[in-house]
Amino acid sequence: MTLWKRNRSSRFLAVVSIVSLLASISQPIGVYGATSDNLISNPSVEVGTGAYPDSWSREKSGNNVSVFYNKVAGQDGQRAVQINVTSYSTGYSGWFFSPISADSGASYQYSEYYTATMKTNLFVRVTNTSGQTTTTAIQSNIPTASNWTQLLVDFAVPADAKSFTVIHRTNSIGTLTTDNFSLTKKGGSAPPIDTVLPTVSVTAPTAGSTVSGTQTLSANASDNVGVAGVQFLVDGTAVGSEDLTSPYSVSLDTKTLTNAAHTVTARARDAAGNTATSAGISFTVNNTDTVLPTVSVTAPTAGSTVSGTQTLSANASDNVGVAGVQFLVDGTAVGSEDLTSPYSVSLDTKTLTNAAHTVTARARDAAGNTATSAGISFTVNNSAASGTNIIPNPSLETVSPTNNALPLSWSKVKSGTNNASFTYLNTGHTGTRSLQTKITSFTSGVAYYQFDNQLVAAGKTYEYSVKYKADTYTEADAEITLADGTVQYQYLGVVYPSPSGWSTFTTRLTLPINAKSVTAYVLLYSAGTLVTDDYSLTPVTIVPLQQPIVTLTFDDFFTSFYDNAFPLFKKYGMTGTMYLVTSDLDQPGLMTSSQLHEIQSYGFEIGSHTVTHPHLPLLTPADLDAELLNSKNTLSKYMGTSIDSFASPYGEYTDEVLTHIAKYYSSHRSVDVGYNTKDNFTPYNIKAMSPTVATTPEEVLAWVDEAIRNKALVSIVYHDIVNNGTTWSNTPAHLETVLAGLKARGVRVETTRQAVAEVQQQMP
């Protein structure tokens, strides 16, 4: 469901194994011979009740608001599944069928019908015979479709594949609806993979020219197989739609730009999904502007009740360009004018009375024209103190007066085909009661306990935590009821196995600005046992650091880092932290001792990533200590320095694992999604943001901008830096754009050791 499923594979054979998954896109039916029957259960998603159709699940990662539906009108029946993304910053969302057994090395054909208002991506997730899981893109930038459209993809699974599923993911605002799924086995082998990048160059406007009004952007593009389309961008922002036919051009209304210098580039794409971006062409816009901007407040919503820290936000546009937006409450300016979109500012509502107030936004363009929005009325109510647990009967000690098999204010939920059992235990983490959910036979569905819906402050950030014991991987979700009565589901994260005793799952969720009430739960979606106790859901107030900090960390030490990434770090004068698996030292395909010592001498910190990259929660205490201590000692001797920082494989940890880590290391970086501020910082669970191959450098820099706004520490997790890589890789061009953006922003970039020391000095 998230980074815990990252497949380390054999590391040296990973490129070969994963590349074999890449698809030959949109081949005609029957290209490999006769097909077999449909392998997907419930392929038209007609069967099932509750949040999931039978044999189907959903996933969500990152900072976005994704609403999942499974009862919308279908293409070939009464139902289809749908994802509606209403707010997006990072991550992805997707529906997928229950994994099926793989015929090792076989070729398959996948088909579905879809409609979409945004471009989407298709992935295959494979679990191999060693239990390791890899998620790989098999078709990118799937075009929008207003009518039902068939998507047809051929792909092959690797020779060590045990099971797999296919996921159609969103990664932007919009709506994706899918139905009528089919997966059939093919004969023969997949066609050869096209890895040659297209070439592209901008032909208009000419470099250094001055333009006004409507300007044609044009480009020449070519490819060894064929160009599928060309997207034009001005200052990194797409202009119009991708042009699918030669000659490639698009019209640009220069009045949407400021009277200043701008840069146009063109991005060419071939049918295999390979892309290349042209060199930039600089031109100057010169338009006379007398048109007023337009502006409207988008948060808070009219009539809403807020508390604590409230984000004020607005949409603004102008015929040339918005220069800034100033927010006002009751006519008094709040903070400074926001000079960049999206326009927002934080309001401490405790500076206002518990009463009705009015917010407006004033937009300004570069010519000095201004316009003020209509006022939005909202009510401040700060009666609920930060840190107050809003979950009823959180330790489960009070028995329901109508059902002695349940705690008061709690209920149980089961869907799909499984034999889930629910037990109100007479033992607990604290007190004498806890809840057990157990599944011994599983085909589909979920099972969980949940507390009654509780009223919340819209737009507020809450911290959710629960004590648990589990012998399998489980999942935490929130169910949010909005002001209009609709319900949306928010994925909170993976809950790792804790076979040796009680552990803690903790995360944060920021509620939508129209949220009314919420419940949250940890659910079983496979065979296993889960016991929970001591729930908490508390509003929090973010306490910023003295200044924002960025850490750039790398799991593993591929030779490609030395060849492709290290020169860029030297170019921009930056360093980072590299976490090493000691069993990989001196192995082919990885950095040599002299290369590692060179980057260490330059300023990089070397940290530990264990000896063999195991699943730490599943180890015995003795084996866990061996992985931690032996890696530390080996690296200390190998690098000639102390080793202070640690990153857990797959991001997995439990309370016991963290206790052992603290015996040997000064910090632990996880892959829990989030930012680190004074109110949530702990050196043994540094939250992080993890780019995938589909993550743009602009998205990464948006994470950085969020850290700058909130004065937070953001740790960015990279792996391999290489062209045409796998899921957890990024290109040298991506990395250079990020490094250049960091330098332009003037944000402090530190090693993990430096960042931890700086934050700890600020803690009370």
What pLDDT is stored for residue 595 in this prediction? Answer: 97
Each residue's pLDDT tens digit, 235-290: 999 999 999 999 999 999 998 888 899 999 999 998 777 889 999 999 999 887 77
Residue spans of beta strands (DSSP E) within 207-255 = 210-211, 214-222, 227-234, 237-243, 248-253
Q: What is the average pLDDT score of the chain? A: 89
Regions of the chain where pLDDT drops below 50: 1-36, 188-191
What pLDDT is stored for residue 353 in this prediction? Answer: 78
Superfamily of domain 294-380: Immunoglobulins (2.60.40.10)
- Alpha carbon 607 to its chain's center: 25
Domain with CATH 2.60.120.260 in the chain: 3-186, 410-539
Residue 703 contacts residue 747 (beta carbons within 8 Å) = no
What pLDDT is stored for residue 193 in this prediction? Answer: 53
What pLDDT is stored for residue 73 in this prediction? Answer: 87
Each residue's pLDDT tens digit, 431-446: 999 999 999 999 999 9
Residue 702 main-chain phi, psi, to 5 deg: -65, -35
Give 192's DSSP letter: P
Domain with CATH 2.60.40.10 in the chain: 199-285, 294-380
The architecture (CATH level 2) of 199-285 comes to: Sandwich (2.60)
Write out the DSSP string of 572-599: HT---EEEE-GGGTT-TTB--HHHHHHH
Helices 655-664, 621-639: crossing angle, 10 deg rounding: 30
Instruction: Please give the single-letter amino acid code of residue 25.
Output: I
Residue 598 contacts residue 563 (beta carbons within 8 Å) = no
Phi-psi sector, 686: left (phi>0), alpha (psi -120 to 50), beta: beta
Sign of CA dihedral 63, 646, 572, 749: positive
CATH 2.60.120.260 describes domain 410-539:
yes
Each residue's pLDDT tens digit, 694-734: 999 999 999 999 999 999 999 999 999 999 888 889 999 99
Residue-level length of the chain: 764
Residue 156 contacts residue 105 (beta carbons within 8 Å) = yes
Q: Which option is the CATH number for 549-762: 3.30.230.70, 1.20.120.1200, 3.40.50.11810, 3.20.20.370?
A: 3.20.20.370
Superfamily of domain 3-186: Galactose-binding domain-like (2.60.120.260)
Q: Which residues on neighbouring strands pair with residue 196, listed in sequence order?
A: none
Domain with CATH 3.20.20.370 in the chain: 549-762
Task: Indicate the pTM of the whole model.
Answer: 0.55
Give the whole-angstrom CA distance, residue 145 versus residue 157: 28
Give 563's DSSP letter: I
Sign of CA dihedral 755, 758, 761, 764: negative
